Copies of this chain bind each other. A is one copy, B any other.
Amino acid sequence: MSPKITVELLRQLRQAMRNGKYITEPIQAYIVPSGDAHQSEYIAPCDCRREFICGFNGSAGTAIVTEQHAALWTDGRYFLQASQQMDNNWTLMKTGLKETPSQEDWLVSVLPENSKVGVDPWIIAADQWKNMAKALSSAGHSLVALQDNLIDAIWEDRPSRPSTKLITLGLKYTGLTWQDKILAVRGKMAERKISWFVVTALDEIAWLFNLRGSDIEYNPVFFAYAVIGMSSIKLFVDVKRLLEPAVREHLQLDGTSKPELTVQCFPYESVYTELQAVCAALTPKEKIWICDKASCALTQVIPKVHRSAIPYTPFCLAKAVKNPTEIQGMKMAHIKDAVALCELFAWLEKEIPKGTVTEISVADKAEELRSQQKEFVGLSFPTISSVGPNGAIIHYSPLPETNRTLSLNELYLIDSGAQYLDGTTDVTRTVHFGNPSEYEKECFTYVLKGHIAVSAAVFPNGTKGHLLDSFARAALWESGLDYLHGTGHGVGCFLNVHEGPCGISYKTFADEPLEAGMIVSDEPGYYEDGSFGIRLENVVLVIPIKTKYNYRNRGSLTFEPLTLVPIQLKLINTDLLTQKERDWVNDYHTKCRETIGAELKRQGRMEALDWLMRETQPFV
């Protein structure tokens, strides 16, 4: 991986920062956040502005350029990757380390007095704007919203915004019509005396309307806004997309529905002026819901007295708690996904000794095998396929220049997943095709212990995911080890592979309590820069569990693994496991054998079935 050369780009950006064409007064710093106007985690090529300016292409990070400095903040998943992708015009700021200044503190330390700091108000979230503006103003500086995006100004061949074909999803997949979802949210709005609800997150809009697109790679979403009133529904989207008869029928655009369930369609860009019109017509007491993670630009359209900013929307929570149809779909998707992975591992065992299998070829093979499964749509994120030291780059994707060959001597980590019409998958396995060292086995076993500690945890209703994070780390901590990423994220149902508002992380973000029906990942790891990476990830479903007692009638929850792919036994040092942990592994493998074995048989994939039977032998 060679770094992007940014001397000339930085020169141009700094020129733009002083150019009267874009600004009324020169600015002394420019902030380039990671997201798009919907604060998406994964973004379309036209929105990869931060990557364009610094070269770092991970999913999280903020670049700030001043007259003298250029710095990028990212978290532990990306330290190595960012340091390799950026040239020495850039300083890497390692978020989460004690010595790393916050963006605000750093700006205050480097800016001359009374500086102006610019940012595009569409791609900074309202809550981030607020914090940054406050910190800057208390140090005598100011944060300025610039109409023109300065990166776009210097980006010559910037791609255009995608507008892909929309897919309609029926009740078979969604369990609930979009009309019922509208009625449910109106009930919540009435309860809270809310007149309007501005929906900006792309996955919430896709979920609401039971529509999918492919505007953003890996994320089956489409660029749109929605503004829901008690008796109207406004959808902002490239109107060409609505010409398709199936979409018209699905949204009942041709005049058959009741007025309050009629979707009014507007061009995507008109959300700003339409929202202004909605606000202008409000009576003094009326309130509008908008997520505090929505863009600063759209948020500020709503006068403060009418604005009710919420940390996450009712759709965010409703989407997180899967209904029975969605749960069934997620289970089916994971069975198909496991079939593909069993085939992949069986194939790898045969092929690796030939010395021709590379990180890239495995990733391609995995995609090919998945694509043979029914209702396959595409991958859910770029496959992380990494050999030996590449495994320590937590979100590594192989490139021709970094591509390593799989061998009998190094650990191999594959973190991959797919979108099926019935669900989204995300699974990581770390394997060794020769003889792992005692140290590799020891580390793997600690990670396994952490994985089991979360997966088998029993906890009361109302518990937030961050309270489970340390369970995943205890075994590593005891030996002085750790990993610098969270333990789990919410997973969408044929939607984004990362979704809120629940998760399992040491970071105390505003996570909502875990509830039966939520689906999260459980993925502890251990990484040694320059040597190897280990991660073990299942997607798990939150389910109720009957406990011996039931304190204050609260009820208890635990997890059911949806991912059913064997965990490599040869990497486990069984002496380090308790009897309970051994039982867990055996039970898990029995379930893999029964469920995935039956499906492999049904599909006639006998080689993979043999592999599965071999890999799921119980411990003696």
Interface residues of A (CB under 8 A from B): 98, 138, 140, 285, 308, 457-460, 462, 466-471, 473-474, 477-482, 506, 508, 547-552, 554, 556, 578
Contact = CB atoms under 8 A, between A and B. Distances in A.
A471 B479 CA distance: 17
Contacts of A473: 459
Contacts of A474: 457, 471
Number of copies: 2
A524 to B, nearest CB: 13
A477 B463 CA distance: 11
20 contacts: A98-B462, A457-B474, A457-B477, A458-B477, A458-B478, A459-B470, A460-B480, A460-B482, A470-B470, A470-B471, A477-B556, A478-B547, A479-B547, A479-B548, A480-B547, A480-B548, A480-B549, A480-B550, A480-B551, A482-B554
A87 B506 CA distance: 43
Given A477-B556, A480-B551, A482-B551, 5 more contacts: A460-B480, A467-B506, A471-B474, A480-B550, A480-B556
Contacts of A462: 98
A470 B474 CA distance: 11
B471 A549 contact: no
A321 to B, nearest CB: 15
Q: Which 3 A-B pairs have the closest CB atoms?
A: A480-B547, A480-B549, A508-B508
Contacts of A548: 479-480
Interface centre among A285, A477, A554, A578 (most CB of B within 10 A): A477
A322 to B, nearest CB: 21
A450 to B, nearest CB: 13
Nearest to A510: B508
A122 B583 CA distance: 59
B506 A477 contact: no
Contacts of A458: 477-478, 480
Contacts of A578: 578
Contacts of A471: 470, 474
Contacts of A478: 458, 547
Nearest to A309: B138
Contacts of A468: 470
A466 B551 contact: no
Contacts of A480: 458, 460, 547-551, 556
A287 to B, nearest CB: 9
A452 to B, nearest CB: 13
A552 B548 CA distance: 42
A540 to B, nearest CB: 17
A252 to B, nearest CB: 37
